[in-house]
């Protein structure tokens, strides 16, 4: 099933989040960003939590999908070093089968591969608390790198994204961000 403009149903989520480019590397002598104090953010609906280096800006965006209209909830933090995004979409269906969830995740990865300026996508299948997902490493030419974690939980799609300049190693903060993500309530 495809959403508007031929994008896969979950592709609208990837499209809405876009890619957040970062500005510059940390200043000399400045504490590395992954060692700074981060705060635990609980989602507005209390279904997940994640650590971020500051309180995020919240945005809610209407998006089409093959299942009908959806709302995409985005929590984003931009720092001088990188950008972090945690978001989700609730699809207007009671549930999505495991096989359909796997198919949607594959379609979302293919949608990322087709985005302008994407030069490389490395995909790894993951499972978190029994739910299917994907970890993606995305290169946008020589300027920007992005790591994404996609997770399907019932009829909800989660997306975690870390973006920074290509010349910067973002492994410590990405690992911290991804590992801090916790599901707090079961899928509806």
Give the number of C-alpha atoms closer than 13 A to the C-alpha of residue 187, restricted to the C-beta side. 23
- In the predicted structure, residue 165 carries a pLDDT above the cut 50: yes
Cβ 58 vs Cβ 74: under 8 Å: yes
Assigned domain for 58 exists: yes
Number of independent structural domains in the chain: 1
pLDDT at residue 30, as a whole number: 52
The structure tokens listed for 173 are: 């903060």
Quote the percentage of the chain above a pLDDT of 90: 41
Cβ 182 vs Cβ 188: under 8 Å: no
Quote the percentage of the chain above a pLDDT of 70: 79
- In the predicted structure, residue 76 carries a pLDDT above the cut 80: yes
Assigned domain for 141 exists: yes
* Predicted model pTM: 0.79
pLDDT tens-place string over residues 119-140: 888 999 999 999 999 999 998 8
Check which CATH number belongs to the domain holding 151 and give it: 3.40.1000.10
Cβ 12 vs Cβ 72: under 8 Å: yes
More reliable by pLDDT, 166 or 34: 166
- Which of 47-51, 109-113, 177-181 is least confident? 109-113
Tell me the sheet residues that pair with 159.
87, 150
Band (9; pLDDT cuts 50, 70, 90): very low
Band (6; pLDDT cuts 50, 70, 90): very low
Assigned domain for 74 exists: yes
Kindly list the distances between the CA atom of residue 182 and the CA atoms of 49, 63, 179, in Å, as whole numbers in the listed order: 5, 25, 8
- In the predicted structure, residue 180 carries a pLDDT above the cut 60: yes
Mapping DSSP to helix (H, G, I), strand (E, B) and coil, where does residue 155 land?
A: coil
Assigned domain for 109 exists: yes
| Domain assignment of residue 95, given as a range | 4-21+31-182
Q: Cα(51)–Cα(93) distance, rounded to whole angstroms?
A: 29
- Give the residue carrying structure tokens 């399907």: 152
pLDDT at residue 31, as a whole number: 53
- In the predicted structure, residue 187 carries a pLDDT above the cut 90: no
Band (14; pLDDT cuts 50, 70, 90): very low
């Amino acid at each position: 099933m495809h959403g508007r403009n031929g994008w896969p149903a979950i592709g609208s989520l990837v499209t809405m989040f876009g890619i957040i480019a970062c500005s510059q590397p940390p200043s000399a002598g400045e504490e590395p960003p992954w060692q700074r104090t981060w705060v635990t953010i609980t989602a507005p609906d209390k279904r997940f939590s994640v650590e971020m280096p500051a309180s995020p800006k919240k945005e809610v965006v209407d998006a089409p999908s093959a299942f009908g209209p959806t709302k995409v909830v985005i929590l984003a933090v931009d720092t001088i070093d990188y950008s972090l995004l945690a978001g989700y979409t609730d699809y207007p269906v009671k549930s999505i089968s495991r096989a359909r969830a796997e198919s949607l995740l594959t379609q979302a990865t293919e949608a990322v591969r087709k985005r302008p300026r994407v030069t490389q996508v490395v995909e790894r299948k993951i499972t978190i608390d029994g739910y299917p997902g994907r970890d993606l490493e995305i290169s946008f030419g020589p300027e920007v790198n992005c790591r994404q974690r996609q997770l399907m939980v019932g009829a909800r799609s989660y997306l975690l994204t870390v973006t920074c300049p290509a010349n910067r190693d973002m492994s410590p903060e990405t690992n911290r961000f991804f590992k801090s993500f916790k599901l707090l309530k079961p899928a509806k």
